[in-house]
Chain A
Amino acid sequence: MTAKLDLYKLHKAEYATPKEPVLVRAKPARYLAISGQGAPGGTRFTACIGALYGAAFTIKMTRKFAGKQDYAVCKLEGQWFFDGDPAPIPKDQWKWKLMIRTPDFVSPDDLKTAVGTLLKRGKSAEIREVTLETIDEGLCVQMLHVGPYDKEAETVALMQSFAQANGLKLSGPHHEIYLSDPRRVPPERLKTILRVPALKQDS
């Protein structure tokens, strides 16, 4: 049996997770993605997670059944779109893109077939909104955040001063890779990789 492809292991350098800011260079990567607006954990947010995982598993298993290269479904990730500090913005106005990293060989046709299968099963309409896209973040400041999601500001502040000290400016969007399952892990032990693309100060 060919070894199962694990993208996080394959691109290990991009997932360096010390508890202090580091620079990483993220190569263009392919994601299944779905965008929306609303509070994390809200109806829309939850429905989108469901649609995204539904697509991810259905694509993987359909390919596997056809005897194609197997791979591990990666963890949930998210991009958050804020101008400045998110704290004063009401949560129901938060804009996000939920993503699952996917091997390059997964094609738009694979997605189309999976969406068809899921709609036939009567899955919710959000499934139509799942897209396949490539995101190229380039140079990023990255750091492991341990603790509740609403304490991320402290970690981001550290990343900001690190960027400054290195002649960089955080440009966004803010990207999170969820290593822990918030349903099972207590908030103080949640592990999340924070990644923010950075630009040279003078550019």
Chain B
Amino acid sequence: MNVSAKPATLRFYKERLLCVLVHIQQHLDEPLALDDLARLACLAPHHFHHVFTGMLGESLGSHVRRLRLERAACQLKLTKTPVVQVAFEAAYQTHEAFSRAFRKAFGLSPVQFRGRNGVSARIQTRSGVHYRRQKPPGSFRAAQLEDKTMKVTVKNLQPIRVAFMRHIGPYNQVGKIWDRFTMLLGKEGLLGSAPQFIGISLDDPAVTPPDKTRYDACVAVDAKFRASGEIGVQVIPGGDYAVLTHFGPYEKLGQSYARLLGQWLPRSGRRLRATPCLELYFNSPENTDPEDLVTDIHAPLETK
């Protein structure tokens, strides 16, 4: 691996995210759609949220909520705007919800905060990015490699022809689609010796409403297999992939994605390809305790 390329890629990813951070600060009153932000970062939406979470140390949603609260704190301090109005501008529907969030962040109610001097309007964060009225952020602290021993290998995959079934709904319910999918394949004798089970998550569960998140359950099949009914066929692109093994429950996969895409990738000298990440499953929750589940996360890389 070209060593000099590493700081260059870190700078490359930081610059992309900085564009997004500036845009967020200038548009805190707007809905801030994931697709728009991903486009600013020149990243595919399905990669963007992992890179963001990994590099900033907080999800896009938490980042925006935190900045809105910091701005609200500034408004309370510097203006006479009524609390209800401040709450509304911070995108809270009710005064109560705003007060609760505010107290959690600052340890004081909005009214107490307004009456108190010398209390910081900043909420602690690893990235060092805070709300500033006049000046958008000029840089941020990218998360360090939390785990220096994180073992990432780069593998070159051949294209994989797969049968797949799409799940649209909460990610914690993909088990249901696997149940049906493996039943339909299994009764046809298509789960032979060592079936390769692959999952593809196409959305960010923190941004996309749970009833709309998409996931493809895939099993490798040979050229003779034909799509029919609920089961489709697609070819997973070959090429280089960065591989990180995730040990443990599927609910925590997001943390491993963030470490791979937000911590390892920017220091790797490699760039992401726009095709989705893959999850290769090596055992089944059916006869394995969640702590013993093994999943290889594959992040597609551009050819060097």
A6-B287, A73-B287, A181-B283 as given contacts; A61 in contact with B182, CB under 8 Å: yes
Kindly supply a per-residue 1/0 record for chain A positions 39-78, scoring 1 wherever the CB is within 8 Å of any chain B CB and 0 otherwise: 0000000110111011001101110110000001111000
Residue of A nearest to B225 (CB): A121
B88 lies within 8 A of chain A by Cβ: no
Residue of B nearest to A123 (CB): B192
A120 lies within 8 A of chain B by Cβ: yes
Within 8 A of A (CB), among B185-199: 185-195
Of A4, A46, A61, A121, the most chain B CB neighbours within 10 A belong to A61
Neighbouring A residues of B188 by C-beta, 8 Å: 117, 121
B146 lies within 8 A of chain A by Cβ: no
- Determine whether the beta carbon of B282 is less than 8 Å from that of A184: yes
- Determine whether the beta carbon of A58 is less than 8 Å from that of B186: yes
Kindly supply a per-residue 1/0 record for chain B positions 166-200, scoring 1 wherever the CB is within 8 Å of any chain A CB and 0 otherwise: 00000000000000001111111111111100000
- In the bound assembly, the distance between CA atoms of A138 and B180 in angstroms comes to 38
Interface size of B in residues (CB-CB distance below 8 Å): 20
The binding surface of chain B is classed by DSSP as: loop
- Determine whether the beta carbon of B183 is less than 8 Å from that of A50: no
B299 lies within 8 A of chain A by Cβ: no
In the complex, how many angstroms separate the beta carbon of B280 from the nearest chain A beta carbon?
A: 11
A139 lies within 8 A of chain B by Cβ: no
- In the bound assembly, the distance between CA atoms of A18 and B95 in angstroms comes to 57
Neighbouring B residues of A47 by C-beta, 8 Å: 193
- In the bound assembly, the distance between CA atoms of A118 and B190 in angstroms comes to 8
Kindly supply a per-residue 1/0 record for chain B positions 253-294, scoring 1 wherever the CB is within 8 Å of any chain A CB and 0 otherwise: 000000000000000000000000000001100110000001
Of B184, B186, B191, the most chain A CB neighbours within 10 A belong to B186
Residue of A nearest to B194 (CB): A50
A114 lies within 8 A of chain B by Cβ: yes
Neighbouring A residues of B185 by C-beta, 8 Å: 61
In the complex, how many angstroms separate the beta carbon of A5 from the nearest chain B beta carbon?
A: 11
In the complex, how many angstroms separate the beta carbon of A128 from the nearest chain B beta carbon?
A: 14
In the complex, how many angstroms separate the beta carbon of B293 from the nearest chain A beta carbon?
A: 10
In the complex, how many angstroms separate the beta carbon of B196 from the nearest chain A beta carbon?
A: 12
Q: Choose one: A6, A51, A57, A120; the contact of B191 (CB below 8 Å).
A: A57
- Determine whether the beta carbon of A51 is less than 8 Å from that of B283: no
- Determine whether the beta carbon of B184 is less than 8 Å from that of A65: yes
- In the bound assembly, the distance between CA atoms of A64 and B182 in angstroms comes to 10
Of B183, B191, B192, the most chain A CB neighbours within 10 A belong to B192
Q: Other CB < 8 Å A-B pairs besides A73-B286, A118-B189, 15 of them? A: A46-B193, A50-B194, A51-B193, A53-B191, A53-B194, A54-B193, A57-B186, A58-B191, A61-B183, A61-B185, A61-B191, A64-B187, A123-B192, A184-B282, A184-B283
Q: Which residues of B are at the interface with A, using a C-beta cutoff of 8 A?
A: 182-195, 245, 282-283, 286-287, 294
Q: Which residues of A are at the interface with B, using a C-beta cutoff of 8 A?
A: 4, 6, 8, 46-47, 49-51, 53-54, 57-58, 60-62, 64-65, 72-75, 114, 117-118, 120-121, 123, 181, 183-184
